[in-house]
Chains A and B, each alone.
Chain A
Amino acid sequence: CVPKVVEKLPYYKMPVVQGTPLDTEAVLSLQTGMTREQVELLIGAPLLRPAFRDNQWDYNYQIMRGGKVKEERNLSIYFNGNVVAKITGSALQYAREQAKQKGL
């Protein structure tokens, strides 16, 4: 039995974590117009370093087990020049739900 086949068996696969979960309040307080330093102060520098462009910061948080993604949240911040132009990503929605739960 070749490794590829064995890998399919449902045995314990270590959860592979990438990126860091972001603070709910910090994510909610992000708005366009902030400078890079302000963003970095709030949620730290991005772990995902875009190689050949620098107007986009990506914050990926992902837990994967045996090739299947169990939990995933990402946040992309687009800059023009030094100022935030657009913020997208599932992390925003997730942060709002968290906030509602905690009754902020």
Chain B
Amino acid sequence: CAANQSKMSPDEKLTQGWTAEQLYSEARNELNSGNYSRAVSLYDVLRARQPDGRYAEQSLLDTAYAHYKDEEPKKALLALARFQHHYPASVDMDYALYLKGLVLFAEDQSFLNKLSSQDWSDRDPIANRKAYYVFEELVRRFPSSKYADDATKRMAQLVDALAGHEIAIARYYAKRGAYLAANNRAQNVIKDFQNTRFVEESLAIMMFTYNKMNKPTLAADVRRVLAHNFKNSPYLQHEWQADDRPWWRW
């Protein structure tokens, strides 16, 4: 390319006369062997020199993947955004959405996290919700894509986490004596997350809080619904109570 010689990055000089295929395959095995920053710079050179055609499109996707593997979510999202913008009709759009979902899903495999068995509902719900919508778009626009079923599985995981977040807050407020707040949060679970495993407990919390606010009629309504849906629910016999973890467990 015509830019003056001195300004060129080492990769540009090295790959002076290379064809697009050579550049792409070199970048590809850099990517597979895990040195992501080198792969990214090679893809950039490829895109600057050969801005159209299959290679440019694929290299943008690979750059995003490299950033994702390199724990650089922001850069990965930026690359994916450029991809979606420049190639709206690309055949790999389902992969792009899937990758974006993974970036937002941001599974933290760090050792410490596994050790602490920190469960998903504890963390920031906004990130979970964003990942959910991206996977949902993938499944909606490309139902037959090979990524669709894994996306659905992750969506279920995210819904469970979001519902877990609501119920955890309901439990906290019930423990603290803020019965009105606990009741509203429990109702959120019923309203937004009917098909999760928390419905039974949220009904129990609603019954418990209505009683505490001495609203027997409303409590009776909830008991009827609980009995109807969960025939042998333990909460029919004894009231809900906060499960206080012993001090030494976390």
Residues of A at the B interface (CB closer than 8 Å) are 3-4, 16, 18-19, 47-53, 56, 58, 60, 62, 64, 67
By a CB distance below 8 angstroms, the chain B residues around A62 are 180, 213
Interface residues of B in 195-231 (CB under 8 A from A): 206, 213, 215, 217-218, 221-222, 224-225
B218's partner among A3, A47, A53, A64 (CB-CB below 8 A) is A53
Known: A18-B181, A52-B224. 16 other contacts (CB 8 A): A3-B244, A3-B247, A16-B176, A18-B180, A48-B180, A48-B213, A49-B184, A50-B218, A51-B218, A51-B225, A52-B222, A52-B225, A53-B218, A56-B218, A58-B213, A58-B218
Number of A-B contacts (CB under 8 A): 48
A19 is contacted by which of B180, B187, B217, B244 (Cβ under 8 Å)?
A: B180
A-B contact pairs, 30 of them (CB 8 A): A3-B244, A3-B247, A16-B176, A18-B179, A18-B180, A47-B184, A48-B180, A48-B183, A49-B183, A49-B184, A49-B187, A50-B218, A51-B187, A51-B218, A51-B221, A51-B225, A52-B218, A52-B222, A52-B224, A52-B225, A53-B217, A53-B221, A56-B217, A58-B213, A58-B215, A58-B218, A60-B180, A60-B213, A62-B180, A62-B213
Q: Collect the chain B residues with CB atoms within 8 Å of residue A48's CB.
A: 180, 183, 213, 215
Chain B residues with CB under 8 A of A58: 213, 215, 218
Q: A10 to B21, alpha carbons, bound, how many Å?
A: 77
Complex interface bits, B37-58 against A, C-beta within 8 A gives 1, otherwise 0 = 0000000000000000000000
The interface residues of chain A lying within 8 Å CB-to-CB of B177 are 16, 64, 67
Q: How far is the CA of A81 from the CA of B244 in the complex (A)?
A: 44
- The answer, yes or no, to whether B23 is at the interface (CB within 8 Å) is no
Chain A: minimal CB distance from B55 (Å): 57
B242 CB → nearest A CB, Å: 11
Residues of A within 8 A of B244 (CB): 3-4
Query: A72 vs B179: C-alpha distance in the bound complex, in angstroms?
Result: 13
| Interface of B toward A, CB cutoff 8 Å | 176-181, 183-184, 187, 190, 206, 213, 215, 217-218, 221-222, 224-225, 244, 247
Q: Nearest-CB distance from A28 to chain B (Å)? A: 24
Distance (whole angstroms) from the CB of A18 to the closest CB of chain B: 4
Which residues of chain A come closer than 8 Å to B183, judged between CB atoms? 48-49
Residues of A within 8 A of B213 (CB): 48, 58, 60, 62
CA–CA, A3 to B248, complex, Å? 12
Q: When chains A and B are docked, how far (Å) is the Cα of A48 from the Cα of B224?
A: 19
Given A3-B244, A58-B215, A60-B213, does the pair A47, B190 have CB atoms closer than 8 Å?
Answer: no
Which chain A positions have C-beta within 8 A of B218? Answer: 50-53, 56, 58
Which residues from A are CB-within-8-Å of B225? 51-52
Q: How far is the CB of B205 from chain A (nearest CB, A)?
A: 11
